[in-house]
């Protein structure tokens, strides 16, 4: 276990957690679009591929924010 270099201010930690949730919400929305366009009765494969890539980008954003949160001593599981 390493000691955080500089712990986040609580208000900043909350904002980062909100941003992580926004990234996951964006992921879910793009993933739902991907699933829709990939249906056999829609079959817009290139559009589905576009939204799949977009969904994967949002997950990566969430992971980067989670990593930053952890580096700064924050936690997704906020304890008061």
Q: Which residues bind Fe ion (CB under 5 A)?
A: 23, 58, 61
State how far the Cα of 58 lies from the Cα of 52, in Å rounded to an integer. Answer: 10
Shortest distance in whole angstroms from residue 15 CB to Fe ion = 15
Shortest distance in whole angstroms from residue 59 CB to Fe ion = 9
The full DSSP string for 15-71 is HHHHHHHHHHHHHHHHHHHHHHHTSTTT--HHHHHHHHHHHHHHHHHHHHHHHHHHH
Nearer to Fe ion, 13 or 58 (CB): 58
Nearer to Fe ion, 44 or 64 (CB): 64
Shortest distance in whole angstroms from residue 3 CB to Fe ion = 29
Nearer to Fe ion, 44 or 62 (CB): 62
């Amino acid at each position: 276990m390493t000691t955080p270099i500089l712990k986040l201010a609580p208000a900043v930690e909350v904002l980062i957690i909100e941003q992580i949730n926004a990234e996951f919400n964006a992921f879910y929305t793009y993933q739902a679009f991907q699933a829709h366009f990939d249906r056999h009765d829609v079959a817009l494969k290139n559009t589905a591929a576009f939204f799949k890539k977009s969904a994967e980008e949002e997950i990566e954003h969430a992971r980067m924010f989670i990593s930053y949160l952890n580096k700064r001593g924050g936690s997704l599981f906020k304890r008061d």
